[in-house]
Chains A and B, each alone.
Chain A
Amino acid sequence: MAELETTERIADADRELLARAQAGDMSAFEALVELHRDKVYGLALRMTRSDADAAEITQDTFLSAYQHLKDFRGEAAFGSWVHRIAANNALMRLRHRSVVKAAEEEFKGPEFNEQGSLAEYPASDWSRRADEQALDAELRNAIQQATDRLPEAYREVFLLKDVEGLSYEQISEITGDSVPAIKSRLHRARLFLREAIDNFYNEK
Chain B
Amino acid sequence: MFTCKESVELLMSFLDGELAPDEEQKLEEHLQACPPCVDFLRTYRATPSLCRRALSRQMPQELADRLTDFLRQKCKK
Contacts and interface: CB of A to CB of B under 8 A. Distances in A.
Contacts of B57: 38, 41-42, 45-46
Nearest to B57: A42
A81 interface: no
Interface residues of B, number: 41
Contacts of B74: 63, 66
A165 to B, nearest CB: 8
Contact of B5 (A46, A62, A112, A186): A112
Interface of B: 3-6, 8-9, 11-13, 36-37, 39-40, 42-59, 63-64, 66-68, 70-72, 74-75
A191 B44 contact: yes
A197 B63 contact: no
Given A125-B42, A130-B46, A187-B12, A116 B6 contact: yes
B48 A116 contact: no
B8 A110 contact: yes
A53 interface: no
Contact of B75 (A46, A58, A66, A112): A66
B12 A147 contact: no
A173 B4 CA distance: 34
A66 to B, nearest CB: 5
A152 interface: no
Interface stretch (A8-16, A29-37, A72-80, A86-94): A29-37
